[in-house]
Amino acid sequence: MSDYQEIINRYKDMRGGIIQAYHAVQDHYGYIPEEAVTAAAKAFKMPKAQAYGVATFYSYFKVGKRGRNVIRICESAPCHVAGADELVKTLEKELGIKMGETTVDGRFTLEFTECVGQCQSTPVITINGKPYANVTADNVAAILAEYR
């Protein structure tokens, strides 16, 4: 039995357990493997499309591989006005990937996110949940250096 199957089985008898199972699987792998969605559908006795819908509805969940360091860029209006577009271009250039992609070495994934509650210090990015405020093109390289 796979690790994800063992994790899912811990929650299969709980009401709404699929969400907790997905959290636990993602905590273990850093993402939700496609095969885990199929296993969850069987364990929770639902169509695979429904299990996939749960996994993709919540922005916190990521189906498929992602980098060890997940960089999320706030795309709310305050961050947008403060220069998030320029920040996206800088991050894409620095990492050699586009939004939604993962670097070849598996170190970084770029994703958009909704407001992270730091509107007083825009634009904001988070890396593995750690917020970085007032980010500019000039300080991106230094921030990324912490994770290289």
CATH class of 69-145: alpha beta
State the pLDDT at residue 12.
92
State the pLDDT at residue 75.
84
Per-residue pLDDT of the chain (148 residues), as tens digits, is 679 999 999 999 998 899 999 999 998 988 899 899 999 999 999 999 999 999 988 877 888 888 889 999 988 888 888 888 899 999 999 999 999 899 999 899 998 888 888 888 889 999 988 999 999 999 999 999 999 8
Torsion angle of the four alpha carbons 27, 61, 88, 130, in this order, in degrees rounded to the nearest 10: -40
Buried b (16+ CB within 10 A) or exposed e, 108-141: bbbbebeebebeeebbbbbbeeeebeebeeeebe
Answer yes or no: are the C-beta atoms of 82 and 136 closer than 8 Å.
no
Pinpoint the residues of the chain covered by CATH 3.40.30.10: 69-145
